[in-house]
Every structure is written in structure tokens, then in C-alpha cells.
Amino acid sequence: MNLRFKKSVALLGAVCLSIAGLAADKKPDVFKPGPAASYKGHQKQGGFVIAAETCVTDQQAKSAFGKVNPYEEGALPVLVMMANEGKQTIDVSRLRFRYLAPDGTKADALPANEVKYLKAPSKPRVGPGPIPGVNRKKKNPLAAEEIESRAFAAKMLPAGDSAYGFVYFQVEHKPGSVLYVSGMREAGTGTELIFMEIPIQ
């Protein structure tokens, strides 16, 4: 093995290690919303705060779902943030979410694992049709792992703690709608908190 070949191998190894190091240093994007009370659409009951915000634009969806915009595929994501500023642990394992529109439209939240079965709204065809004899299966965008991994999944909210996640509705978003939330209880006493209606613009 001549000296020039040895130097080339050593240089190639150094480049590979450098690339591997850069890949290891690159941290994945972490989706994390602000405090519940910092959102315009929030309500407070004692020391318990709930905020909600729709996710309809591509820009909104990008930080949470990457290239997928669930709303364009038939599922309206609503980001829910909760904060327990009181002294009692709050049981949120039996939450009920309902979308209420000004025109009377109502929709209950879908289980996150069922969102992938929704059908996207019909869209007008643009350009020529498919090539005869070619069968192209499009990957279901609503099957993206972020749909379930970003879903609201908290069960208990101890004093001083907070939680967030998405709930999904099969509905077209209308301005002036509210998110109806019920089922919160004080873990120690079992006393149910009064429902909340959070405006979601």
C-alpha cells in the first residue's frame, strides 16, 4: 500500500467521522407551546387554566406535524393547553371535548387513533388524468405518527404542573366557534369542575 493511498483513506475516514458528528449534534425539532394563560383563547376556574387554539394554516401545522397539514386532509386539530395553578391534583382522564360553531354545528372529538381513517375533502382535479395502466398509491397523510404522538394524553395534573396536546374534529372550522371542555375533577374529592367554553378563533 503506497503512501498516497494511505493518506486518501485517512482523509476519507476523517470526512466520514465529521459527517457522523454533525448528524449526531443535530437535534430534532421539539414542539412546545407557550403557557396556557398566554393565549388569547383561555379560561380560568380557580387555579385551573385551559387554553385552546386551532391549527389550520400550513405555517401553524409545520411546527407540530411537519409536512402534513391535518386540516387539509379532513381533520381539524385544536391545540389544548392546561395548567394547574391550584393546590389540588386535577383528574383529566375523563375529559370530553366538543366543537360548537355559531351556526349550531356540533362535533365531538375523535380518538386520535381513528383520525387516519378519515377521508380528505374532495378537491378539483388539475391537469391531465393518471397515466393508463399505472397504479400509484398515495400514502395517507393522516397516518403520520405525529397525529397520535401529539394528541392530548394527560391523565392527572398535579398542583403546579401543565400539559398540552391536540384534539381532532371532523368539521370545517368557523370563526366564532368555541371548544366545550368538561369532565375535570379534583382527584382527592371527586368533585367535578364546572365545564369551560374556550373561544377558538
| 29-83: pLDDT as tens digits | 578 888 998 888 899 998 999 999 999 999 999 989 999 999 999 999 999 999 9
Domains of the chain, first to last: 31-120+140-200 (2.60.40.1230)
Give me the pLDDT at residue 2, please.
Answer: 55
Contact present, 83 and 112 (Cβ < 8 Å): no
Joined grid coordinates for residue 21? 458528528
pLDDT band per the 50, 70, 90 thresholds, residue 27:
very low
Contact present, 90 and 48 (Cβ < 8 Å): yes
Give me the pLDDT at residue 4, please.
Answer: 52
Helix (H), strand (E) at residue 100 = strand 96-100
Strand order in the sheet with 96-100: 106-108, 96-100, 177-182, 196-200
Give me the pLDDT at residue 31, please.
Answer: 82
Residue 127 has pLDDT above 60, yes or no: no
**CB-count burial class (<10 Å; 0-12, 13-18, 19+) for 109:** buried
Q: Which residue has the cell 396556557?
A: 36
Residue 102 has pLDDT above 50, yes or no: yes
Average pLDDT over residues 142-171: 96
The whole-chain average pLDDT of the chain stands at 82
pLDDT band per the 50, 70, 90 thresholds, residue 19:
very low
Strand order in the sheet with 162-169: 42-45, 48-54, 76-84, 162-169
Backbone angles phi, psi at 45, to 5 degrees: -130, 105
Residue 8 has pLDDT above 70, yes or no: no
Amino acid identity of 78? Answer: V
* More confidently predicted of 112 and 130: 112
Contact present, 55 and 166 (Cβ < 8 Å): yes
Q: How far apart are CA 28 and CA 129, in angstroms?
A: 38
